[in-house]
């Protein structure tokens, strides 16, 4: 089982950080991502909504499984290329003090777990996908910070 766990504190109110990271268009901030969007036939943003992310050599369809604005949301990859056996991912948002001056900030905790089927590359693909996804998650958090802290 691969576990990716990244965290970052962003100097912006929790509602703004939640909304920015919950918008699938912002997933394109990852270096190899080309486009993120809710499916045209999807429910409104919230639990049950379906989003898709297209990237260089990859595609994901994800279902939002829980949506508790502005505290957390969870998602599950339901189809993808390459294939994933996804246990789900959760982003948790906690209001925090960002600086000694008392600026409002948000601590983001992003956790996901998955494997790849043996027939699709198994452990070898996991070594590659772990590095790519972890760096992508960090790039998305960096972009969120840049967008909201400027």
Domains along the chain with CATH numbers: 2-149 (3.30.530.20)
d(CA 137, CA 150): 20
Whether the model clears a pTM of 0.85, i.e. scores above it, the answer is: yes
Place of tokens 């982003």: 91
Q: What is the pLDDT along the chain (150 residues), one digit of tens a residue?
A: 999 999 999 999 999 999 999 999 999 999 999 999 999 999 889 999 999 999 999 999 999 999 999 999 999 999 999 999 999 999 999 998 766 667 789 999 999 999 999 999 999 999 999 999 999 999 999 999 999 986
CA atoms within 13 A on the CB side of 43: 10
How many helices (H) and strands (E) the chain has is answered by 2, 7
Place of tokens 């994800």: 62
Place of tokens 């790849």: 116
Are 115 and 85 a contacting pair, CB within 8 Å? Answer: yes
d(CA 94, CA 79): 30
d(CA 46, CA 125): 31
Task: Extract the tokens encoding 74.
Answer: 């969870």
Nearest Cα to 116, choosing from 65, 81, 90?
A: 81
């Amino acid at each position: 089982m691969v576990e990716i766990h990244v965290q970052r504190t962003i100097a912006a109110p929790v509602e703004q950080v939640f909304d920015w990271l919950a918008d699938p268009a912002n997933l394109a901030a990852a270096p190899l991502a080309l486009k993120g969007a809710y499916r045209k036939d999807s429910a409104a943003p919230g639990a049950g909504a379906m989003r898709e992310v297209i990237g260089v050599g990859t595609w994901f369809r994800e279902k939002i499984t829980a949506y508790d604005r502005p505290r957390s949301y969870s998602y599950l990859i339901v189809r993808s290329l390459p294939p994933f056996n996804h246990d789900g991912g959760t982003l948790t948002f906690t209001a925090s003090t960002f600086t000694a001056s008392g600026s409002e900030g948000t601590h983001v905790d992003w956790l996901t777990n998955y494997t790849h089927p043996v027939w699709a590359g198994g452990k070898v693909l996991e070594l590659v996908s772990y590095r790519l996804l972890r760096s992508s998650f960090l790039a998305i958090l960096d972009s969120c910070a840049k967008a909201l802290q400027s």
